[in-house]
DNA sequence: GTCTATATGACGATAGAC
DNA sequence: GTCTATCGTCATATAGAC
């Protein structure tokens, strides 16, 4: 029963971190290899080309998203409140892949966009069960907006200040969700 | 009283269109020149380097955004409803610069991020006057979410279908805004 | 498995003709 | 003002040693 290779994951972690911190353009094979502590040749042994690396990142995203959907369904505070709270950047593994993958989507990477659409639809379905299809949309867009702002900041300066500012906003959004629920 | 140069604007339009349709990475000087119908050398006569082209695009964005803020303040249906409606992609000049500029922000372009932050703050101020600071945030994030989804699609396939799907969502969001206003 | 070359091809930018 | 030609740099990917 062989364990999953470690170096491969380290490379993927480095790719993810660079996408988040410096954007798609600077997440080059050279930079990823250096950050992962391997040579470029070593990197390309694990992933024959860059597209393969992206594919693996999307696999990781789908896996973590599936776990998140389950947690959302089982959340005691309700799916809507869970969704808003988890739309806030918390540096979780899921947050990280999401932001990383968004950097790729912005570069017009079609496969990435398709994956996002699939996950968003699942969220919407769960939300609709709780608050109805109409209000589910309002909640969904609020969460997307929260996420969008986290993503726009990325590794920019003063990230902590902005992140805590958004954290305060979550209270307002949860209050809004309460009012919409009735 | 010399009119503004035409070729310059044509180049800027081409740059904007490419950012929207194919993303930052493919919006190269070669591609922009070709689309604008000039040679690369011709392009670089108007804009000494790529950064200058980006600066001009951001100037265009700020100018159009200022007009939008004024319209928002004067909107008969109220600022919040105006904001939600105008967050929908409608292929207006402002919509176009926004999406184009977002492509740059995603690539960790600091100056672009700063401009966005400035505009968002102005929106929030106007919204707060109408519905109070707390609910202004809810409205703002809904609008951001709407915008985020339009942006994620970009020039992707089947854009029209998705755009009309979001158009239907606006009704739900306006209903939500009504419930939050009271 | 991981490394050091190196090939190949873009991209941004400059020089200088017209 | 707009063009062609070209340079320097950097990115992806390949070949082959260890």
Nearest-by-CA chain B residue for A157 = B110
Query: In B, which residues are within 8 Å of A137 by CB distance?
Result: 169, 172-173
Binned at pLDDT 50, 70 and 90, residue A82 comes out as very high
In angstroms, the CA B55 to CA A62 distance is 38
Name which of A85-94, A161-170, B139-148 the model is least confident about.
A161-170
Report if residue A18 sits inside a domain: no
Among A70, A36, A67, residue whose Cα is nearest residue A53:
A36
Report if residue B13 sits inside a domain: no
Helices B159-181, A110-153: axis angle to 10 degrees equals: 40
Report if residue A131 sits inside a domain: yes
pLDDT digits over B50-77, tens only? 999 999 999 999 999 999 999 999 999 9
pLDDT digits over B105-128, tens only? 988 899 999 999 999 999 999 999
Report if residue A148 sits inside a domain: yes
Q: How many domains does chain B have?
A: 1
Instruction: With CB atoms and an 8 Å threshold, state whether B103 touches A102.
Output: no
- The separation, in Å, between residue B45 CA and nucleotide C16 C1' comes to 14
The pLDDT of residue A165? 82
Query: In A, which residues are within 8 Å of B21 by CB distance?
Result: 108
Residue A89: phi and psi, rounded to 5, are -65, 125
Among B112, B117, B102, residue whose Cα is nearest residue B24:
B102
Residue B138 in this model has a pLDDT that exceeds 90: yes
Instruction: With CB atoms and an 8 Å threshold, state whether A155 touches B108.
Output: yes
Report if residue A43 sits inside a domain: no
Report if residue A24 sits inside a domain: no
A18, A108, A119, A150, best to mutate vs chain B, most B CBs in 10 Å: A108
DSSP for B72-88 reads HHH-TT-HHHHHHHHTS
Report if residue B23 sits inside a domain: no
Among A163, A12, A30, A174, residue whose Cα is nearest residue A101:
A12
Mean pLDDT of the B119-145 span: 95
Per the structure, the complete domain to which residue B127 belongs is given by 55-181
Name which of A10-14, A119-123, A167-171 the model is least confident about.
A167-171
Of B22, B144, B180, the CB nearest to A176: B180
Among A87, A103, A135, residue whose Cα is nearest residue A19:
A103
In angstroms, the CA B24 to CA B21 distance is 9
| Cβ neighbours around B156 below 10 Å, total | 16
Identify nearest nucleotide to residue B48 by CA to C1′ distance. Answer: C13
Report if residue B33 sits inside a domain: no
Please state the pTM of the whole predicted model.
Answer: 0.94
B61 and B98 Cβ atoms separated by less than 8 Å: yes
């Amino acid at each position: 029963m062989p364990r999953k290779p470690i170096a491969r994951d380290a490379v993927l972690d480095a790719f993810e971190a660079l996408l988040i911190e410096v954007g798609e353009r600077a997440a080059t094979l050279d930079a990823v290899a250096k950050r992962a502590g391997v040579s470029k040749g070593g990197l390309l042994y694990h992933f024959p080309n860059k597209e393969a690396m992206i594919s693996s990142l999307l696999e990781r995203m789908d896996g973590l998203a599936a776990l998140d959907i389950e947690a959302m369904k089982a959340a005691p505070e309700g799916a809507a409140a869970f969704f808003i709270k988890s739309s806030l950047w918390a540096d979780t593994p899921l947050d990280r892949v999401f932001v990383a993958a968004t950097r790729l989507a912005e570069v017009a990477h079609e496969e990435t966009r398709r994956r996002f659409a699939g996950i968003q639809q699942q969220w919407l379905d769960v939300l609709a069960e709780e608050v109805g299809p109409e209000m589910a949309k309002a909640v969904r867009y609020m969460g997307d907006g929260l996420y969008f702002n986290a993503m726009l900041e990325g590794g920019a300066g003063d990230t902590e200040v902005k992140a805590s500012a958004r954290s305060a906003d979550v209270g307002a959004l949860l209050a809004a969700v309460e009012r919409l629920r009735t």
